[in-house]
């Protein structure tokens, strides 16, 4: 039976998740160069249009209707046909199907937007547009079905791994794909000898605030009802994020002898990513451990990627989301408690191995799907257009070369 309170709650949470995508644009825009801020913002904004159109036409149907071999759904709900106005959702009986469609649609927007940070500053906009369209079909919709869809290979009807709000589906998929894509596109001009300049720290803080605000809807809303589980996910989200913020600030003090706002904002994002898969499965006290240790895990990962391996993950899409998502998925297998949510089995901390093993296998499968899907999508894009802008266009800045706009009229184009 449809409950108006649950319906209102899920729709509000959907709106909160929506604001995360432009919030990510500000976060990325502030972290990038002045000459690329419009391009970084546009990389998130265009997905609002493309992602919604694709989700309504076939994305929801492929993710959540029917089943083919546990890998992908069907086209039985193409154009949302058969999704009746008053029918309860098969995934949440107290809300109408359209409320579930709307909530899940917002996840399909934010996920590919994360990838864009890995290739910021050098990928042709046309190529990025095509890649995101192909990637949504080849990677996101299948993973959403495998983890959350009825009959999915990795979820309750298959491997029995758990992912409360998107560790595999959102963060591991986008982070790993971002890493593969930035390797294919190559490093930015002057990457080896040019010091990195963050052009607008207040933009980063604004983006962080919008992300944290929206993330309460992201995680609490994944309970799909206004209930105790939603409240629990809200609190684990707040707790892990606070721990991530503090741990990254501590790293900053130990390494740089002073705390920075950029590091505090990065710690927030890492804490949010790490708790996402386990927000509705682990105790609140465990969220402190998960968020607190996510900071050093991601910090060391970023050092390895950028300083040791010289991989140009421009805005740390893999460093924060890929590593943070893997960490969070593993820790869900350690601290999962069926007393909180019976969908999970006891984790390693409580003396059982099965849930942890399922988490490890699901992470490996998610990585494999992301790597293979990204290679296929990039190959298709290369057939249609050049992936990377020319040297002159890159040095000029993607704001002007790709969009004919400038964020700052007095900007001289040197930064």
* pLDDT at position 411: 60
* pLDDT at position 413: 57
* pLDDT at position 415: 60
* pLDDT at position 2: 94
3-state SS string for the chain:
CCCHHHHHHHHHHHHHHHHHHHHHHHHHHHHCCHHHHHHHHHHHHHHHHHHHHHHHHHHHHHHHCCCECCCECCCCCHHHCCCCCCCEECCEEEEEHHHHHHHHHHHHHHHHHHHHHHHCCCECHHHHHHHHHHHHHHHHHHHHHHHHCCCCCCCCCCCCCCCCCCHHHHHHHHHHHHHHHHHHHCCCCCCCCCCCCCCCHHHHHHHHHHHHHHHHHHHHHHHCCCCHHHHHHHHHHHHHHHHHHHHHHHHHHHHHCCCCHHHHHHHHHHHHHHHHHHCCCCCHHHHHHHHHHHHHHHHHHHHHHHHHCCCCCCCCHHHHHHHHHHHHHHHHHHHCCCCCCCCCCCCHHHCCCHHHHHHHHHHHHHHHHHHHHHHHHHHHHHHHCCCECCHHHHHHCHHHHHHCCCCCCCCCCCC
* pLDDT at position 306: 86
Structural domains in the chain, sorted by start: 4-403 (1.10.3430.10)
* pLDDT at position 191: 77
* pLDDT at position 263: 95
pLDDT mean by block of 10 residues, the chain; 415 residues: 96 98 98 95 98 98 96 96 90 96 98 98 97 98 98 96 97 98 93 74 98 98 98 98 98 94 97 98 98 97 89 94 98 98 97 97 98 98 97 94 88 59
* pLDDT at position 192: 72
* pLDDT at position 412: 61
């Amino acid at each position: 039976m449809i409950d108006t309170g649950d319906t209102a709650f899920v729709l509000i949470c959907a709106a909160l998740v929506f604001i995360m995508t432009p919030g990510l644009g500000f976060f990325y825009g502030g972290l990038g160069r002045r000459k690329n801020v419009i391009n970084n913002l546009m990389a998130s904004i265009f997905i609002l249009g493309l992602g919604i159109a694709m989700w309504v036409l076939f994305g929801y149907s492929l993710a959540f209707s029917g089943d083919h071999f546990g890998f992908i759904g069907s086209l039985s709900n193409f154009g949302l046909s058969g999704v009746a106005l008053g029918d309860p959702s098969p995934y949440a009986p107290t809300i109408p199907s359209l409320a579930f469609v709307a909530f899940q649609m917002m996840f399909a927007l934010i996920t590919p937007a994360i990838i864009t940070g890995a290739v910021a500053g050098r990928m042709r906009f046309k190529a990025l547009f095509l890649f995101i369209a192909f990637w949504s079909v080849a990677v996101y919709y299948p993973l959403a079905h495998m983890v959350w869809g009825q009959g999915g290979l990795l979820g309750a009807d298959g491997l029995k791994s758990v992912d409360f709000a998107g560790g595999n589906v959102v963060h591991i998929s986008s982070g790993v794909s971002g890493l593969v894509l930035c390797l294919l596109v190559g490093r930015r001009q002057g990457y080896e000898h040019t010091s990195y300049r963050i052009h607008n720290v207040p933009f980063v803080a604004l983006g962080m605030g919008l992300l944290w605000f929206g993330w309460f809807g992201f995680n609490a809303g994944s309970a799909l009802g206004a209930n105790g589980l939603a409240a629990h996910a809200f609190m684990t989200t707040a707790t892990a994020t606070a721990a991530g913020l503090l741990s990254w600030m501590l790293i900053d003090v130990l390494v740089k002898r002073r705390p920075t706002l950029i590091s505090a904002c990065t710690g927030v994002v890492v804490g949010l990513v790490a708790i996402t898969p386990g927000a509705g499965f682990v105790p609140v006290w465990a969220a402190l451990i998960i968020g607190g240790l996510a900071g050093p895990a991601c910090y060391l990962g970023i050092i390895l990627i950028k300083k040791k391996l010289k991989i140009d993950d421009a805005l740390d899409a893999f460093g924060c989301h890929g590593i943070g998502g893997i960490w969070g998925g593993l820790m869900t297998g350690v601290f999962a408690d069926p007393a909180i949510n019976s969908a999970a089995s006891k984790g390693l901390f409580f003396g059982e191995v099965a849930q942890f093993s399922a988490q490890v296998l699901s992470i490996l499968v998610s990585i494999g799907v992301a790597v293979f899907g990204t290679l296929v999508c990039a190959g298709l894009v290369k057939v249609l257009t050049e992936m990377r802008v020319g040297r002159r266009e890159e040095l000029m800045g993607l704001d002007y070369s790709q969009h004919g706009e400038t964020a700052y009229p007095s900007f001289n184009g040197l930064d």
